[in-house]
Amino acid sequence: MQFTGLDWSTLSTLMGLSALAVTVLYVLKLRKRRIQVPFAPLWQQVLAEKTHATDLWKRLRRLLSWLLHLLLVALLGFALGDPHLEKEVVEGRHIVLLIDTSASMASTDVSGAVSRLELGKQKAQEVLKTVGPEDRVMLVTFGDQLMPLSPFVGEPAILEAALHSMTVLATGTAYSEALTFAADSLRDKKRGELVIISDGAGFDPSLNSVEFAKTTTVRHLIVGESSGNLAITGFNVRRYLANKLDYELFVRVESFFDRPVEAEVEIWADGRLVDAKPMTLQARQTFQQFYPSQAVSGERLEARVRLKTTDARDVFPLDDRAYALLPELGKTRVLLVSEGNLYLEGPLLLNQNIDLTTVAPTAYDPAAETDVTIFDRFAPAVLPEGNFLFIDPQGESSPWESRGDEKDPIITQVRRSHPLMRWISLKDLNIGVAQRWRLDSGDESVATSIDGAAIVATRKAKGRSIVGLAFDVRASDFPLRVAFPVFLLNVIDYFSLDESTLVESYATGEAWPVPVGSGLNEVKIIRPDGTSQEAKVFEGKAVVYGDLAGFYELNGDGFRKIIAGNLSNSDESAIAPVKIQAVDQVVVNDTSSLVFDRHELWIWALLLAMVLLVFEWLSYNRRWTV
């Protein structure tokens, strides 16, 4: 028997004093009442007739009340000592409850709960129920980041709310960090218990180097039963430079089934189903494909994979969707410096992606803000930095020195791979007259006449990107060709203004530095689940931590930007449960020795004392003991 209550010296003092008080009170209780009777001699006669043989028994019976009181005192002292069986463990434990909230815990391959995390919460509740008055518990969640929800507390009820509010995050799992934290927290504790509630998906024993103290017991309560999963681990979309309405899709789907399965990938644009692409995946196959020329409008694209094989079940829903943003179609500001040229103005005005401004050469302002400047038969004296198209430039300010004219030049050499020549042909182009330019060393001739004169040239130097057309378009049939407006678009695209042909999505579980431009101190972020948060801006970038897959909207003063976050984590999509191992230590996979019964013997001692008290009262009132 061991006693964990009051110490022995205090107990013995208390019991001694109580026994003394009981004895004094008992002696006082023995004082006799005086009763008046009509004829005492009759009582004396009866008394005299009683034999002496019963005297000893009467004395002993009288002592019974006193003995009962002493027994009561002894029982109370026993209860105060808080006795426990010798083999019972009474010393307090420090328990770290480590709960996995990574994406794989959203898998639904469990019975008795809707997801692995919900099952894990139930197991955690069972552990909390075993906590004794001497134990201390710390609740920690981990995904790709560690989050202690409490210090070591002695009251499990405090942790109930935190346990209840845990949710799955669309992140990976940082096992090493979590185990290291747990090991360090329990290192100096006499009795440490680490209870890991996780599916162990993605755990690599070879990378685990965490060592636990000898006084720490490591337990891993595995949740999860299967590995069947289809995951979209890659989804991107890129606009074509030539046709901004067209884009190209990239989809990567991984199968974690051990057999072939049929699936279908649906493409949604701004909430509308726009396409469905069937596929067949072999066992554990990674399927990836580009889908070109997907001509559909929309900004927010979503890919959803759906298992079509009827006798298989995809138990992990978080990686069945991926999100991507189509690059924005921005308007290009074009400044046409011309005395008037309908052939130029027409195609530029008709293009809804071009914002055209036309000025006369005399009104040209070099400081005007523009993306592309087209000089029609004009060359400014001072050429600022920027992007310029010179059409038959005149004067000494021309970028190219003219060495005369060439009549009826025939274009014989064209660099077809050049972006300016994309989708056009200058064959049989009729040109009345073209300038003969002297090209500098850095210049490039894109189209050359039979005489070797550059008809179309380019130059990039000192912050300027220049394309030159050596002839007046009105002195040719160029404007009458389909190639002419395409050429103008090619020129604009050539200047790389539309940099955003591809918007990369962000991977969840990381901090994203999102460029938001200067002038903002903080932005408001609306998360995929509709909640909002604030993010500070440092050096033009807002730091956003994304733990959910979906679209995030950033808003600031006059600023709005949408970004996409995806799980895209093959390790996390490999949801097959794995047993966590520890270095030089056996990891227990159950709670057999964690959950134990405590025998509160003091309660029984008190109950027995109450029964004895009732018996003593009864025996005294019925004069059994007096």
Partner 1 sequence: MAELEKFDEAFLKKLEYLYIISRKIAAGAQRAERKKRIVGSGLEFADFRSYSPGDDLRNIDWKIFGRTEKLFLKLFEEEEDLYIYFLVDSSRSMSLGTPSKWNYARQLAAALAYIGLSNFDRISIIPFSSGLDGRLPPSRGKAQIFKVFEFLNGLDSGNQTSLQDAFKTFVSQNKRRGIAVVISDFYDPAGFEEGLNLLRYHRFEPLVIQTIDERELDPKILGDLQLVDCETGMVTDITVTPGLKKEYIKAFEKMCSNIEDYCVKRQILYFKAPIQTPFDELILRIFRAGGFLD
User: Residues in the site for partner 1, rule: CB under 8 A?
Assistant: 30, 32-47, 49-50, 58, 623, 626
Structural contact between residues 135 and 150, judged by C-beta atoms closer than 8 angstroms = no
Which residues 6+ apart lie within 8 Å of 249 measured at CB? 235, 236, 237, 267, 290, 291, 292, 294, 301, 303
Q: Select from 88, 95, 90 the least CA-distant residue to 189.
A: 95
Say how far apart CA 236 and CA 167 lie, in whole Å: 28
Instruction: Quote the least distance from Cβ 25 to partner 1, whole Å.
Output: 15
* Closer of 68 and 605 to partner 1 (Cβ): 68
- DSSP, res 439: P
Minimum Å distance from CB 156 to partner 1? Answer: 54
Contact call for residues 86 and 1 (beta carbons, < 8 A):
yes
Nearest alpha-carbon partner for 453 in 430, 476, 434, 436:
436
Which one, 34 or 214, has the nearer CB to partner 1?
34
CA geometry: angle at 259 spanning 254 and 262, to 5°? 65
User: How near is the Cβ of 66 to partner 1 at its closest, in Å?
Assistant: 13
Nearer to partner 1, 42 or 461 (CB): 42
- 3 state SS of 132: coil
Q: Min. distance of Cβ 620 from partner 1 in angstroms?
A: 9
Least distance in angstroms from the C-beta of 27 to partner 1: 12
Query: From the CB of 28, what's the least distance to partner 1, in Å?
Result: 12
We find the least distance from the C-beta atom of residue 71 to partner 1, in angstroms, to be 22
For partner 1, give the closer residue by CB, 65 or 217.
65
3-state secondary structure of 249: strand
- For residue 36, the minimal CB distance to partner 1 (Å) is 5
What's the CA gap between 230 and 192, in Å, rounded? Answer: 39
Which amino acid, 222? Answer: I
For residue 8, the tally of other CB atoms under 10 A from its CB is: 9
Residues 6+ apart with CB under 8 A from 202: 102, 104, 172, 173, 175, 571, 572, 574, 578
Is 65 or 476 the residue whose CB approaches partner 1 more closely? 65
CA gyration radius, the chain: 44
* In the complex, minimum distance from the CB of residue 50 to partner 1, in angstroms, rounded to a whole number: 7
Residue number with CB closer to partner 1 (41 or 404): 41
Q: Which is nearer to partner 1, 37 or 363 (CB)?
A: 37
- Tell me how far, at minimum, the Cβ of 41 lies from partner 1, in Å: 5
Q: How far is CA 56 from CA 60, 240, 351, 519, 626, in A?
A: 6, 117, 126, 106, 13
Separation between Cα atoms, residue 400 and residue 295, nearest integer Å: 41
Question: What's the token pair of residue 244?
Answer: 């901004």
Cα–Cα distance list, 143 to 121, 140, 441, 547 (Å): 15, 10, 57, 9
Closer CB to partner 1, residue 407 or residue 623?
623
Residue 88 and residue 10 in contact, taking contact as beta carbons nearer than 8 Å: no
**Residue among 47 and 157 whose Cβ is closer to partner 1:** 47
Looking at the Cβ atoms of 8 and 39, the one nearer to partner 1 is: 39
